Amino acid sequence: MGESKSTEPVNLTNKELFSDDPNDYFRLTQFRTIGREVCPDIPWERVFRDDFYLNDGQNLILIGITRDDESQEDGIVGVIRAPDFSVTSVNLSAVPEDSRILAFESIDCFVARLPKSKRALSARTLFETIGNSQNLPVEEVAIKIVEEQLKLFKPFNETSIDNTDSISEIIDQMPPDQPQKRKEVQNLLFKLSRKMDFNTFSKKAEEFVNDIKREDHVWDQNYKHLPNRFLRWLLEDSNLRNYEEIKRPPLAEFPVKENITRKIGSLEDLESVLKEIPYEIKPDVFSLKREPTIAKFIDLDMVAGVNDADSWFISVSHKEGLEKIFKFAQGYQDENIPLLQELPIKAIQYKNKIWINGDGRHRMVALKALGVKKVPVLLDKIIESA
């Protein structure tokens, strides 16, 4: 975790419609761009999954997942900008999967539902706790997360009546042969009860006891999620998700129709064109190292084929594949299908040739048939040995 100072807010608007920057077309690379503007020292290029985004007008929180090519271990990087524009960076390597799940569960279900004035400090505390608990069992990490979060809240009333009966009722639901867990839950609930008024705590405890009677594995497989569940008792019922706060800036739209150089009017036209385009089966490059994924405009003349297919028709059924490709070709010509309507087009480059690697195969074949010369894709480039 590191801190720096940002004197001005970052402009999070995006270019509308066409953009010369391929990063503007994809959520992942847009996420990296925003993060780089706020904190350039983070290795944003290593982020392969943008797991959390929040911009509530006062706080900006971006959290992504990275992968180390050598160890194949995943880490967490991100940036937290507070209302005073102070910036905290997050850069944690090799975070166990269970701890990552707890972190995102906490930030999405608790931190993001706090009053805006508390969010940045809560998020900083969360990732400091994760960073300081790397070698602990996940159950201990879960408890530490909640204990550290509770320290951010003032006691509701130092002289309030103890919720001994409510706590005991919960402990009585636990298996008697788990004394350590019973002690952990009892201690955690006592600390939580000091931050809440008596009646609210009692009501939450009663609801919990009723709920778990209909649930399985509460005290074994799902035990690691219990502390976060208890922590959410602090939230007011009005603190529901505000979806505007997690709404990303708009992406650019690639103008396919303006780039079409060949008309396709029928299935016969499409079949004739595709038979004339040379096709190469993708080589086996699965085990080869690759550079971090980037957004790039690619020359469609470099596209030699698509993954898991032995021709441009893709499907085992020649007719079925042709019909699907033709549907995209019609949509692009009529301008009623955006290029990136669903998932981004993903490609892989090896020895100056490109193959569409999964998502976007039919779209790309339609674009080649229509004579489009370049489009934005998410590209993985194989590192060729010397």
The pLDDT score that the predictor gives to residue 229 is 96
Q: Are residues 192 and 266 in the same domain?
A: no
- Report which DSSP code applies to 251: P
Given a contact cutoff of 8 angstroms between Cβ atoms, the answer to whether 308 and 339 are in contact is: no
CA–CA separation, 78 vs 112, rounded Å? Answer: 15
Tokens of 212: 């778990």
- 252, 25 contact by CB (below 8 A): yes
Question: Hey, what are 284's tokens?
Answer: 């086996």
Q: Is residue 176 part of a domain?
A: yes
Is 228 found in the same domain as 288? no
**224 domain residue, yes or no:** yes
DSSP of 206-223? HHHHHHHTT-SSTTTTTG
- pLDDT band for 133, please (50, 70, 90 cuts): very high
CA-based R_g, the chain, Å: 26
Separation in Å, CA 247 to CA 27, 52, 56: 11, 11, 10
Asked whether the beta carbons of 144 and 231 are under 8 A apart, the reply is: no
Contact 122, 114 (CB under 8 A): yes
Q: Which amino acid is at 100?
A: R
Based on the fold, state whether residues 293 and 325 are members of the same structural domain.
yes
One domain, residues 376 and 347? yes
195: three-class secondary structure by DSSP:
coil
316 and 230 in a single domain? The answer is no
Separation of CA 232 from chain center: 22
Tokens of 256: 């396919």
CA distance 348 to 267: 28
Q: What is the mean pLDDT of the chain?
A: 91
Q: Which residue has the higher pLDDT, 69 or 257?
A: 257
Interatomic CA distance for residues 106 and 98, integer angstroms: 12
Of 196, 218, 246, the residue that ends a domain is: 246
- The reply to whether 266 and 241 lie within a common domain is no
Residue 66: its H or E element: strand 60-67
Which among 219, 246, 273 is the end of a domain? 246
In a domain, 373, yes or no: yes
Which domain-ending residue is among 192, 220, 246? 246
Least Cα distance to 123 among 86, 154, 93, 94 occurs for 86
Q: What CATH number should be reported for the domain holding residue 369?
A: 3.90.1530
Distance between terminal CA atoms of the chain?
Answer: 37
Tell me if 138 is assigned to some domain.
Answer: yes
Give the whole-angstrom CA distance, residue 161 versus residue 243: 38
Decide if pLDDT at 11 tops 60.
Answer: no
pLDDT digits (tens, 9 = 90+) for 241-269: 788 899 999 999 999 999 999 999 999 99
In a domain, 338, yes or no: yes
Q: Are residues 216 and 261 in the same domain?
A: no
Are 162 and 287 in a shared domain? Answer: no
**pLDDT tens digits for 274-330?**
999 999 999 999 888 889 999 999 999 999 999 999 999 998 788 899 999 999 999
Q: What residues contact residue 278 under an 8 Å CB cut-off, 6+ apart?
A: 304
pLDDT at residue 68 in the model:
80
Q: How far apart are CA 248 and CA 149, in angstroms?
A: 27
Range of the domain at 264: 257-381
The domain total for the chain is 2
| Phi/psi at 132 (5° precision) | -85, 0
- Going by pLDDT thresholds of 50, 70 and 90, the confidence category of residue 8 is low
% the chain with pLDDT above 70:
94
pLDDT score for 24: 93
Confidence check: pLDDT of 7 > 50: no
Percent of the chain with pLDDT over 90: 79
* Residue 251 forms part of a structural domain: no
| pLDDT for residue 317 | 85
Averaged pLDDT for residues 216-237: 94
Q: Do 184 and 295 belong together in one domain?
A: no
Q: Are 347 and 379 in contact (CB under 8 A)?
A: yes
pTM: predicted TM-score of the whole model, two decimal places: 0.88
CB 30 within 8 A of CB 23: yes
Weakest-pLDDT range from 81-85, 132-136, 200-204, 341-345: 341-345
Distance CA 189, CA 172 (A): 13
Selection from 248, 208, 247, 245 nearest residue 115 by Cα = 245
226 occurs within a structural domain: yes
Q: Does 343 lie in the same domain as 294? A: yes
Q: Are residues 126 and 38 in the same domain?
A: yes
Name the 3-class secondary structure at 105: helix
How many Å apart are CA 380 and CA 348, to the nearest integer? 5
- Token pair 């993903």 is found at 346
Same domain, yes or no: 42 and 101 = yes
* Axis crossing angle, helix 138-150 with helix 116-131, rounded to the nearest 10: 150
In a domain, 386, yes or no: no
- Residue 365 to residue 306: CA distance in whole angstroms: 8
